[in-house]
Each structure stands twice: as structure tokens, then as C-alpha cells.
């Protein structure tokens, strides 16, 4: 069993084997001498006992035989050199200091002894007859104890609001994190119709923020179309931005357009960095580096799609496709439940896929669990936590649900917006971004930081 204790100087938490309880060692961070607490008193509160009144030196006379009776301070005597403490008066006589003063000096000596000194015998000498009182002090040595700093992991059941950004350009539709978690990209715009037959009048905006400082990094406007989807390349310096007419590959630092692809989508686009594929639609693929069209093995005209982490599978609506063979390998079974949203996310190991109401195995497409059907719920975002223990889903009812992967039980439900239009989780799981309309009616982008807990 490990004992956990903290350094009062630097605040770091360490653990050591139980056999070292009560011994001393040095903090590997700041160098302070630490005492390893015993298991029985690790969580106990320290109590204060009033000290007895000090003995007055005037209560003892030079001829008195009544010396302070000091209890033995240590059970194991260790002989060493002697130290004599005296107090000389103006008349040349010597008299002992009070017992409590001596005890304080002994305590200070012991404290200094923790630095590696060897304390010997401390003696009090009487004024005339040379009587000596001896107290033994120990030799304290530092143990070579191996300390392990306690590690923390995100606690997905507790979140703290870190930043709130006001969105002043119509609706917000999409959000994405860079691969290093330092930048978030949010897209949206305005969308209105002049009549029922003509094309809508649109304008778009892409905004980038720094997650550490909260500063705006880049704004890219589109005077013609509302931005519908955004995705970062693995290098974090390139973005693919899509509207219903076209897709642009832009520089994330300057906003300069590198490539314009003549295809767009109302729905999220997908990037497969393992195969350098940028999928605008299930049947419309481009080379993500050159921008040249490449054949797609899928002939369906689905809406939502996502690639598996290893790049071998594509989930298109309810179908799983193998990109090597170009064949459908499974169809996700909802057991008769009507599906309103087909947004999906693969687990980091690629063995599971989560959607609106459930979790499926990618091998065979069989459901692991299905949650109760709610006809009023329209899912707008799905994400696995980095440890694949939880699934996060957002909806237009303003809820964020955190479900356990192993059981499907809804662990927590948060209501941070009146409507949540999407979510994005940073690669390390420490930050969560939600976009949507807040309770005050304003469109906002909120950045949340997960609380931490000690790793098991």
C-alpha cells in the first residue's frame, strides 16, 4: 500500500511505500526535508495543546538541588561529542537556563540535525558543584526513498467555464480544435431568403481564437456563403472550410487561400490524413494535399460521414465502408428506433462508434447499448473522451450528456445553452468548446476546462 503526502513548500503530492512511514526524506522538487506521514494520521486534523507555563530562572537558586526534571526525548541513545550550555551572571556565578529554553534549543538542534548533522549529548552544568545533566540526541539520516509524484487526469463530470466569446455574425454552425489544442476555429454566418424560389442571401465568417490567451487570431469573411463545416489538418497550420457551394483550403496563420475545390456541402466534411483524402461528400473525394479529385469507392449520397482513426473505415450515415475493398462491411442496427441525426464518432482505438442514441461495435455493427429514445432530441455533436471511457453528445435542447461507454448510463447532464449547435473536445481532453444560443438569447462560444482528479 502506498502512502500519499505533500510537500508544504512546493505543494507537490508524492507517494511512498508504507514501510517508510514516519521516516524522513528530501523533496525531489524543492529540496525541503519531508517526514513521510503514517497511514493512520494522513487525513487527521492537527490539534493544538496549550503549553504549560514556563519555569522562571529566579525560582532556582545557586545552592538549590532542584533541577528541572526533563523527560527522555529519545529512546535510543547515540553517544557523540558534548555541548555545554551555561548562563553567567555579573558576579561570575553560573546558573542554568530554564527547562523550557533548553527544550527549545534541543528542538532547534534536532531540526538542524535533519540536514544530516550528528547530534551528540547536551549537558547542563551547575553553578558551583559542577553537576551535569545529560540528554541524548539522535543521529538523523535521510533515507533513499523513491518518491513518485501523484499524477492527475481530467474529471469529465466537472467543468469550469474558462472563456466566453460573443458571436456577432448571425448563426454559428461548426467548431474544430487544432491538433495541439492551442487554437479553436468557429464558423457560421447569416442566412435569409428573399422569396421561396430564389437562392438565400448569405454571408460567412470563420474566426480563430487562442485557447490559452483568449485572443482572436484570425478572421476570414465570405461575402457570398455561410460557412457550414471546418476541419484542421494535422499540422495545425492548414484548414479546410466548406460552404454549400465550395470548399477552400486556407492558411491558418494568414488566412490566404491555397486551393479552392468546386464542391461544397450542407453537412460536415471529413479528413483522412492517413490516406490524404478530403471527403466533401461520401461520393466526392479530393487529394488533401494537391486538391485533385480522386475516385470514391462509395456511390451513396449520404449526409454525415467520419473516418476511423486508422483510415480504413468510413461511416456514412448508418453504413460502414471498407476503403481498401470499397465494400459495405456493416450497417448499424437501431432495432426499430427512428433516427433523426446521423452524426457519429469513432473511439480512439477504432473498435466502437457512437451516434445519437447508442454505441456499436465496428466489427459487425452490433449495438453495445441503446439509450431511451427521445423524439424531441436532435443531436448536434458527438465525441469520445481520450481514454474512451465516456461519450459526449450535445443537442438543440441545450443539453450536454456524458454517458459511460461500458454501460450506457448517463453520468451527467449539463445545460449550458438554450441550444447547442456543436461541440469539440481538445485532443488531450482538457478543454471542451460548445457553440450555440445562450439563455440571454445571444450566440456564444464557450470554452470549458475539465476539473482534475488523481489517477487511479
pLDDT along the chain (456 residues), means of 10: 74 76 78 68 39 40 41 44 43 50 60 44 45 48 56 86 91 95 95 68 93 92 93 96 95 95 94 96 94 89 89 91 91 70 90 91 90 82 95 92 94 87 94 89 91 82
Tell me the three state secondary structure of residue 20: helix
Other beta carbons less than 10 A from residue 115's beta carbon: 10
Going from N- to C-terminal start, the domains of the chain cover 2-40+60-135, 155-454
Contact status, residue 243 vs residue 257, Cβ threshold 8 Å: no
Task: Count Cα atoms within 13 angstroms, Cβ side, for 439.
Answer: 3
Q: Are 360 and 313 in contact (CB under 8 A)?
A: no
Percentage of the chain with pLDDT > 90? 46
Here the cell at position 208 is 480563430
Topology of domain 155-454, CATH: Methylamine Dehydrogenase; Chain H (2.130.10)
- 117-132 per-residue burial string, b: 16 or more CB within 10 A, e: under 16: eebbbbebebbeeeee
Provide the pLDDT for residue 10. Answer: 77
pLDDT at residue number 11 = 73
Q: Which residues contact 11 (CB under 8 A, 6 or more apart)?
A: none
pTM here is: 0.67
pLDDT score at 376:
79
Residue 37's pLDDT is: 67
pLDDT of residue 302: 77
Q: Are 455 and 153 in contact (CB under 8 A)?
A: yes
User: Mapping DSSP to helix (H, G, I), strand (E, B) and coil, where does residue 18 land?
Assistant: helix
How high is the pLDDT of residue 116?
41
Nearest to 330 by CA among 344, 341, 294: 344
Q: How would you label 363-379 residue by residue, b for 16+ Cβ within 10 Å and e otherwise?
A: eebebeebbeeeeebeb
Amino acid at each position: 500500500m502506498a502512502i500519499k503526502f505533500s510537500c508544504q513548500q512546493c505543494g507537490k503530492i508524492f507517494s511512498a511505500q508504507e514501510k517508510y512511514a514516519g521516516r524522513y526524506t528530501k523533496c525531489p522538487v524543492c529540496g525541503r526535508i519531508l517526514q513521510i506521514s503514517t497511514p493512520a494520521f494522513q487525513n487527521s486534523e492537527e490539534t493544538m495543546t496549550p503549553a504549560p507555563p514556563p519555569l522562571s530562572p529566579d525560582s532556582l537558586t545557586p545552592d538549590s538541588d532542584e533541577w528541572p526534571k526533563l523527560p527522555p526525548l529519545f529512546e535510543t541513545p547515540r553517544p557523540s561529542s558534548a555541548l555545554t550550555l551555561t548562563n553567567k551572571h555579573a558576579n561570575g556565578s553560573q546558573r542554568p537556563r530554564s527547562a523550557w529554553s533548553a527544550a527549545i534549543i534541543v528542538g532547534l538542534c534536532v531540526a538542524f540535525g535533519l540536514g544530516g548533522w550528528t547530534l551528540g549529548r547536551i549537558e547542563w552544568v551547575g553553578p558551583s558543584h559542577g553537576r551535569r545533566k545529560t540528554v541524548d540526541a539522535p543521529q538523523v539520516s535521510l533515507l533513499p526513498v523513491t518518491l513518485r509524484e501523484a499524477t492527475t487526469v481530467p474529471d469529465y463530470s466537472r467543468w469550469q467555464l474558462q472563456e466566453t466569446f460573443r458571436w456577432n455574425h448571425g448563426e454559428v454552425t461548426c467548431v474544430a480544435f487544432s491538433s495541439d489544442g492551442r487554437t479553436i476555429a468557429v464558423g457560421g454566418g447569416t442566412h435569409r431568403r428573399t422569396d421561396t424560389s430564389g437562392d438565400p442571401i448569405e454571408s460567412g465568417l470563420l474566426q480563430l481564437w487562442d485557447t490559452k490567451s483568449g485572443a482572436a487570431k484570425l478572421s476570414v469573411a465570405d461575402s457570398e456563403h455561410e460557412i457550414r463545416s471546418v476541419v484542421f489538418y494535422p499540422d495545425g497550420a492548414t484548414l479546410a472550410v466548406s460552404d454549400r457551394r465550395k470548399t477552400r483550403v486556407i492558411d491558418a496563420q494568414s488566412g490566404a487561400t491555397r486551393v479552392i475545390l468546386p464542391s461544397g456541402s450542407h453537412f460536415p466534411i471529413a479528413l483522412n490524413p492517413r490516406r490524404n483524402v478530403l471527403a466533401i461528400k461520401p461520393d466526392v473525394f479530393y487529394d488533401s494535399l494537391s486538391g485533385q479529385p480522386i475516385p470514391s469507392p462509395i456511390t451513396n449520397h449520404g449526409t454525415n460521414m467520419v473516418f476511423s482513426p486508422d483510415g480504413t473505415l468510413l461511416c456514412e450515415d448508418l453504413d460502414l465502408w471498407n476503403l481498401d475493398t470499397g465494400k459495405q462491411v456493416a450497417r448499424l442496427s437501431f432495432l426499430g428506433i427512428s433516427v433523426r441525426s446521423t452524426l457519429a464518432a469513432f473511439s480512439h482505438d477504432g473498435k466502437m462508434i457512437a451516434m445519437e442514441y447508442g454505441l456499436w461495435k465496428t466489427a459487425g455493427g452490433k449495438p453495445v447499448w441503446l439509450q431511451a429514445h427521445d423524439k424531441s432530441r436532435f443531436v448536434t455533436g458527438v465525441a469520445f473522451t481520450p481514454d474512451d471511457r465516456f461519450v459526449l453528445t450535445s443537442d438543440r435542447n441545450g443539453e450536454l450528456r456524458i454517458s459511460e461507454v461500458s454501460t450506457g448510463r448517463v453520468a451527467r447532464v449539463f445545460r449550458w445553452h438554450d441550444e447547442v449547435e456543436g461541440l469539440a473536445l481538445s485532443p488531450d481532453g482538457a478543454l471542451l468548446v460548445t457553440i450555440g444560443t445562450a439563455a440571454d438569447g445571444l450566440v456564444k462560444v464557450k470554452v470549458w476546462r475539465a476539473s482534475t482528479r488523481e489517477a487511479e
